[in-house]
A and B are shown apart, each in its own frame.
Chain A
């Protein structure tokens, strides 16, 4: 089969056109580079559009006591001090500028009375900090940057007559491989989803901004694009993945009907009075308040109910415990046989608030259930359960430049990069992460290209990439990619899910190895033209690598922290806090190693109350009082 082969040359190729990718592209272009933006779907459809709550930035518009130091503390606390301190620091310091910049590009955030950008409260943030546009902040972000790209193209058109001379969007294109020559990135290889035609880019720098891995799980809030492409591409190119065991399960995803399973039910439903009950009608969250939270959460319904109207004299209802606690509680209830009809629990606002108040306070939730599920939440309870939402782990990068460790010329930003969020991400910190590190990736790549210069793709690496892409059509064995994907999702969901044990993780690794063999037998029917079976066969390979990394790192980390819960090691360990788990891939299997977590310098260390740090750190660390 002879296919036409397109060849392009750019200073930098950005893989992924979500928030991070577009922000990186803008920055790289403004630094004078020519940029290719590659998206797996159409331009402007990336998963960033799903983000609802807002973008966290300590602008202090609503409470002027807020500043980067408070934001930094909240972020580290949320990540249970496993975050890379430098990333959390840069993020907290730069987020306000990134938000203001969006406004200069046409974004229209909701306003305060003084006309500033309004900010809302969110779990884990000490002050109202999330800039927002109703509950469609992610859409605003991506549209603003999409339009910023168009603005840059219009400028280029004015100056050169060609809008796509320096920045071009390649929509519906999948990258299958990062090409390396002389030990450095030389380009990328892929194919057009529409035609199946292959294409490669000569490019000394590549920025990964591919987002998450949710589609490895059966129940997820992620779209089909969340197949861990960037994670896998980095691994295959010799990069390192860090913290892959930490996966955030949002406690309340829709579980029924099946068509919307996994779709998020926003935290505000609970914040506005929604309660969780099991099949016995019991408000079970009172049974799941951990000791460390006993002083902050109400232990009886009367007090919990009073909190909604009087927050100073009452403790919070236990429904508002951190995401990981609620997710585990729901999981336990369902496993104990007290789940709802379709395997979740009930979340009910209908008995708590009048219908008109629900519609006013939660308009998009009302619509989401009414239009997608035919459920009227003002009349009946929702069925909810944990859903795979976000991966904290990702490519191991240098915090300042986002350069991937071990692969010169490779950069990563956004969800695909690891370290920023530690073991658990706070709501609102993902959109700011995209902006802060997207921009830094653009600068990092620009600096790299200017010093490293060109590194054209060699024929040998080209040929290898070409052979791989043919495989699904030439392989025999008759495995159906859809069926394999289904099996993978079942196994991660049940064996690498919210609660993990040694036995289950080992079983998962064995099954993953079996699946790897079967993936070698996937054969695809039909032609190359927009063939979803063909597309899935590549995604499958990526998802398998990610699942293996998660299972392996999960097996290795013998403690429970944030997005990693081990039934056999239920407590947090100060020893394990000092360790990052790094996954690498030798072409056959993933291996894991422990590396020390960089420790905070003194000036950051001193931002915290020592009594708080004692809960997380060893005595030796405490006496050292931060590195210098």
Chain B
């Protein structure tokens, strides 16, 4: 079975074997070649006109050599065999012995297709993209008299990836991605507010039905106008109810990063040495899932050629599995979990999350809100961060509501929440049955590399967290 790189650049198993022989010439235990071709387009609308476009083409191969826990890495931005040998020699220098053998035979592996598209983005014309932005702009601009500016960005990309490794495995994948972003500015007398909404996934043009486009616009308008009525909540510790959906950012920061096995292998995570221990109430189960069709976090095969899977991080309150790449799986003597990901061929793979979410629990949303005397309901978020070892994490609430005597009252805005991962997880006291995977275009940053991820959450109550409000 042939693939894009073989058809377009005449690569074949002989080339892979020769380049791997060079990569292993100094005794590396393992090597892999990661070929990538990526094209992306962004169309932008501002001041009512779609008058800017940004296009980017990228091509290259990353060559990695592994010896124990150590990695040698180099890339080439052309696919000439001589350039690949030169990069392979640089990566080979991580080892310092005699020649290791490249694989005798290379076998193509197949995998399920979690993100089929009707047409690849490369075959979609500019003219077909334009009406999407126009519709969203008209809908948002006409959504309310106070809306003064609307900006819309439509991004799409397609990445073709081929991983060939020293075990003789060869995996090819076509990875589509798209995001639609709408930002609104509203004015009310002297006051101004801004907010946004976006949706995204590994999908083609078919994602953007009229209903979806209208929904993105309406949600951006709603989120912006809400801010005029919003105030800043009081400062200090209080119960926080996390709304279903993007509240999954809590899991991403409070536990997800800490479960990436590279940190645990080095002993630098607060979750190091806690596998098998009860860390939360039995109503709490958390997974990291590469198999959610068409989601940003979906991967047919990871960036080291390992099968994707649904990995249980926490099962009924018990810490179960770290997220592994090849190096950490070997270190721990377990199978890779399909979490070896990288930003591009210029980057070394490492354990990364995919779609991280909490499974539904026994409570219902109303019951949870009724149980709070004085607290907040957090509804939409912009960003978060964590200190892996100390366990402190934050996320920023763009808007939400006060809860007073069991009822939702005034809207709130612009407040940072800070907590400690294990303390907060142990303090998740109620979990509703309304789990939602968020539709937003989330991106995770680690060690200078960005990868797309998904988040999900049912409505959840956390007993007490520090809210960065004003008194």
B is a partner of A: no
